[in-house]
Structure 1
Amino acid sequence: MTPQSLMLNFLGLYVFGRDIAVYSGSVIDVFARVDVSEEAVRSTLARMTTRGLLTKHRNGRKVYFGLTPRASDVLRDGERRIWQTGALNNDWDGTWTLIGFSLPESRRSERHDLRSQLMWAGFGPVQNGLWIAPGSREVAGMIEELGLTQHVTVFTAQHAKPTEAADLAHRAFDTAAIAARYQDFLARWGGPAPLKTLPDDLARQLVLHSDWLELVRQDPHLPAELLDAGWPAIEAEQLFQSLARRYAETATPLADAAIESITIT
């Protein structure tokens, strides 16, 4: 888990939607609870500011950090994935979004960037140069941003015999690895007192949300009907939601005491 991943979740929990900027010293104090060094926090804040995710505000000798619109969009997407999309896709209409592309070896870097963005968007490779995702996916903006509109073909389709939907899902996506990640989450967070080595529930809340968001962002959200019986995402999501509600109560007073902020407009 990277400091930036933790930082995004911290900002999503305690800054997003509040029109505030938080004191850098407060962030350092909170991150010390999850064993992230002051140097790593300052480096992450500086890097995110350079990337246009954070704005810097001064009040006397103190430096505070607030969200840019771009950061708010990122956090809004994370919130949607956590609380709205859900771990199971029960609304599949039987269609697939297909993306075909062919880039020469001289454009290897652009090909790598496209593949990375496709994985982030929930696509998997069904064969060389052809990636698929269940349902209708909006990818025009991503492709335009990469400057590859002339090299990519996008369409929606339905599978046909002899191809089976479940075979497509297992060919394009490593479903065993996806299931194993959910099982790891259950092992890490199950039981009456998870992560006892952390000092308090503020630390546990931050790590919990970071763990879960990383997990669901790696999940292509495959249709439930194509997955094995007893898919562990169901139990894992129930566990996350239960712990999230518990920590929302116990961690908030700790956060109020630890985090110094100023109002910004």
Structure 2
Amino acid sequence: MPPNPQTLMLMLLGDFVLDRDVCVFSGSAIDVLGRLGVSSHATRSTLTRMVNRGLLKRQRDGRKMYFGLTARAADLLHDGRSRIWEAGAVNDRWDGTWTLLCFSLPESWQRERHGLRSQLAWSGFGPLQGGLWIAPGVVPAQDIVTGLGLSAHARVFHARAADLTDIGAMVRDAYDLSEVSARYQEFLDRWEGPAPFEDPLAARLSLTAEWLGAIRRDPRLPVEHLPPGWPAARAQKLFRDLEAAYLEPARAVAEDLLDLQIDCI
């Protein structure tokens, strides 16, 4: 499924605004997303919603409106950058350690339960049974429960599985491997053939957004406990090859297209 306008906007800002102390003119954003098939009305609505959600700040210069990143949006983009370039999609250096988190919340705490489960899934956890979730490696799970104000209702452990434990079966119980695999296969199906966009800037933004969509819910399970032919490595190589090919042509297009304002407040 193609990325939504907000995701494409974040990719644009991550490439050309993040860590640069600049804002981008709304008209430039409309031009760029227009190359991806997003209408000007949809782009303006997206900018407004992102301001209301605390992701963007805006400032006027004459008749022009410029948009810059808030600290919250910058944190999201730095996290995405880390997942793409540092963590990657292939966990071939696992040391055998698991992080275990067990929690018990009152039945009436539906919102808190949903928030905790969402953040655990984002951080690579899968539900093993009841209120027990696991993730490969050492994960700062205590930060998750503390940030949600749930420290009194959760416990975190780091452990290794005993020799008699069937880790492959445990992984299949805790994670929907078919869903994770399908996201990588969808990425491969879309990008292994002819590029969906001739414009290099549009292609790069869409490529990065779709790759982040593929890896963002991947728990990075150890490769030795994944099914044969797991598509993550092939998909990651394809992404990196295409990203490198699009980089300079996309920058050249952006340099002519983007109206950036320095010293963004």
| Smaller-chain TM-score bracket | over 0.9
Aligned to 1:211: 210
- 1:38 aligns with one of 37, 40, 64: 40
Q: Which runs of no fewer than 5 residues in structure 1 stay unpaired?
A: none
Aligned-partner SS, 1:106: coil
Give, in angstroms, the shift of residue 236 of structure 1.
0.5
Question: Per-residue CA shift, 1:94-115, capped at 9, x if unaligned?
Answer: 1111111111221111111111
Aligned to 1:246: 245
- Calculate percent identity across the aligned residue pairs: 50
Question: Per-residue CA shift, 1:29-81, capped at 9, x if unaligned?
Answer: 11111122222222222222223222212111101011122222111111111
Q: Aligned ranges for residues 147-226 of structure 1 at < 5 Å?
A: 147-191=149-193, 193-195=194-196, 198-226=197-225
Letter in 1 for 2:215: V
Letter in 1 for 2:131: G
Q: Aligned ranges for residues 1-265 of structure 1 at < 5 Å?
A: 1-191=3-193, 193-195=194-196, 198-264=197-263
The answer to whether the Cα contact below 8 Å between 2:36 and 2:202 also exists between their aligned partners in 1 is: yes
Q: Which runs of no fewer than 5 residues in structure 2 stay unpaired?
A: none
Comparing 138-147 with 234-243, greater Cα deviation is found at 138-147
CA distance in 2, matches of 1:163, 1:2: 42
CA distance in 2, matches of 1:145, 1:45: 28
Q: TM-score with structure 2 length normalisation?
A: 0.94
Aligned-partner SS, 1:105: coil
Give the 4+ runs in structure 1 shifted more than 6 A. none
Give, in angstroms, the shift of residue 161 of structure 1.
4.7
The answer to whether the Cα contact below 8 Å between 1:20 and 1:264 also exists between their aligned partners in 2 is: yes
CA distance in 1, matches of 2:252, 2:155: 51
Give, in angstroms, the shift of residue 225 of structure 1.
1.2
Question: Per-residue CA shift, 1:204-250, capped at 9, x if unaligned?
Answer: 11110000011110111111111123221111111000110111122
Q: TM-score with structure 1 length normalisation?
A: 0.94
The answer to whether the Cα contact below 8 Å between 2:98 and 2:138 also exists between their aligned partners in 1 is: yes
The answer to whether the Cα contact below 8 Å between 2:99 and 2:137 also exists between their aligned partners in 1 is: yes
The answer to whether the Cα contact below 8 Å between 1:124 and 1:132 also exists between their aligned partners in 2 is: yes
CA distance in 1, matches of 2:144, 2:10: 21
Comparing 199-208 with 40-49, greater Cα deviation is found at 40-49
CA distance in 1, matches of 2:147, 2:53: 16
The answer to whether the Cα contact below 8 Å between 2:80 and 2:212 also exists between their aligned partners in 1 is: yes
CA distance in 1, matches of 2:107, 2:27: 47
Comparing 154-163 with 27-36, greater Cα deviation is found at 154-163
Letter in 2 for 1:225: E
The answer to whether the Cα contact below 8 Å between 2:101 and 2:141 also exists between their aligned partners in 1 is: no
The answer to whether the Cα contact below 8 Å between 1:33 and 1:199 also exists between their aligned partners in 2 is: no
Judging changes above 3 Å, is the alpha-carbon distance between structure 1 residues 142 and 43 closer, same or farther for their aligned structure 2 residues? Answer: farther
Aligned-partner SS, 2:156: strand
User: What is the root-mean-square deviation in Å for CA atoms of aligned residues?
Assistant: 1.4
Letter in 1 for 2:188: L
Letter in 1 for 2:224: E
